[in-house]
């Protein structure tokens, strides 16, 4: 399995345990339910003992917890990790005021998400009738190729990366994806500069390369609406970036 890496230049001596350990951690978090070590090993296509050992260490660190029926769930340390990483990220705190403004301007649902493997993970997902506290952290991971957020983020990835990502686990991840069709779509998305999904949601990237993406969603986005919405999305995304920079001083 090809692990997600960000720089094409590996350090002199990459630490494999750290790499595979964080992989296990994110897989555990994504499971959202108790998961056994062999099941996870099958999902990650890794030797069982290896995964069992890493899960054991995560439990030792408090990031995982063993259940009475010998499975693993996230542990108390996840709260520390989420608090610290949220504080280090600055993304949600920078985005929230601007999301509020965007919701008021458009009257639409607004979503802020990040891409993890082939899934979009929402930091925010809600519209005008939803309170902010209820909109923070959408519930389920969502398939990237069916999401405007996912598509705009995948579009900034290399063809090789996308191929690799989608040619593995095709059966496991809920249906087979025609990779060539996907790549064609991604080219279109890249050209347009926004992702459009089913004429119901429209996304632009935050940052370049994108660290996240911002979308509006409603029942039907008409062709005529797109340019203004894209402009508004870009302004909001750019504002988020500026605020993040300011928070980092």
Residue 81 binding a copy of itself, by CB under 8 A: yes
Residue 20 binding DNA, by CB under 7 A: yes
Residue 211 binding a copy of itself, by CB under 8 A: yes
71: partner contacted, choices a copy of itself, DNA, none (Cβ within 5-8 A by kind): DNA
Residue 161 binding a copy of itself, by CB under 8 A: no
Residue 234 binding DNA, by CB under 7 A: no
Residue 32 binding a copy of itself, by CB under 8 A: yes
48: partner contacted, choices a copy of itself, DNA, none (Cβ within 5-8 A by kind): DNA
Residue 175 binding a copy of itself, by CB under 8 A: no
Q: Which stretch binds a copy of itself (CB under 8 A): 39-47, 51-59, 159-167, 172-180?
A: 51-59
How many binding residues for DNA (CB under 7 A)? 28
Residue by residue, DSSP assigns the chain as -----S-SS--SS--HHHHHHHHHHHHHHHH-S-B-HHHHHHHHT--HHHHHHHHHHHHHTTSEEE-TTS-EEE-THHHHHHHHHHHHH-HHHHHHHHHHHHHHHH-SEEEEEEEETTEEEEEEEE-TTS-HHHHBS-SS-EEGGGSHHHHHHHTTS-HHHHHHHHHSSTTTTTS---HHHHHHHHHHHHHHTSEEETTTEEEEEETTTTSEEEEEE-S---TTTHHHHHHHHHHHHHHHHHHHHHHT-
Pick out residues in 23-52 that bind DNA (CB under 7 A): 36-39, 46-50, 52
Pick out residues in 208-227 that bind DNA (CB under 7 A): none
Residue 56 binding a copy of itself, by CB under 8 A: yes
Buried-exposed string 205-243: b where 16+ CB fall within 10 A, e elsewhere: bbeeebbbbbbbbbeebeeebeeebbebbbebbebbbeb
* From 209, 222, 223, 224, residue interacting with a copy of itself (rule: CB under 8 A): 209
Residue 83 binding a copy of itself, by CB under 8 A: yes
Pick out residues in 51-90 that bind DNA (CB under 7 A): 52-56, 66, 69-72
Binding region for DNA (CB under 7 A): 11-18, 20, 36-39, 46-50, 52-56, 66, 69-72
């Amino acid at each position: 399995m090809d692990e997600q890496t960000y720089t094409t230049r590996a350090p002199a001596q990459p630490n494999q345990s750290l790499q595979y350990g964080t992989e296990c951690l994110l897989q555990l978090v994504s499971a959202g339910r108790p998961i056994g070590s062999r099941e996870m090993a099958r999902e990650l296509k890794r030797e069982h003992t290896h995964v069992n050992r890493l899960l054991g260490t995560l439990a030792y660190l408090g990031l995982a917890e063993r259940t009475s029926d010998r499975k693993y769930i996230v542990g108390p340390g996840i709260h520390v990790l989420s608090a610290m990483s949220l504080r280090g990220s600055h993304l949600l705190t920078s985005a929230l005021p601007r999301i509020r403004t965007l919701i008021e301007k458009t009257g639409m649902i607004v979503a802020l998400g990040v891409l993890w493997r082939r899934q979009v993970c929402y930091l925010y997902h809600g519209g005008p009738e939803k309170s902010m506290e209820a909109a923070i952290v959408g519930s389920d991971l969502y398939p990237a190729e069916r999401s405007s957020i996912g598509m705009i983020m995948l579009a900034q990835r290399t063809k090789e990366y996308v191929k690799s990502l989608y040619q593995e686990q095709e059966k496991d991840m809920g249906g087979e994806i025609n990779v060539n069709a996907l790549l064609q779509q991604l080219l279109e998305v890249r050209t347009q500069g926004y992702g459009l999904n089913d004429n119901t949601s429209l996304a632009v990237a935050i940052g370049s390369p994108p660290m996240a993406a911002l979308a509006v969603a409603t029942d039907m986005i008409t062709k005529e609406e797109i340019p203004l919405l894209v402009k508004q999305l870009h302004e909001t995304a750019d504002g988020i970036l500026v605020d993040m920079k300011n928070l980092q001083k």
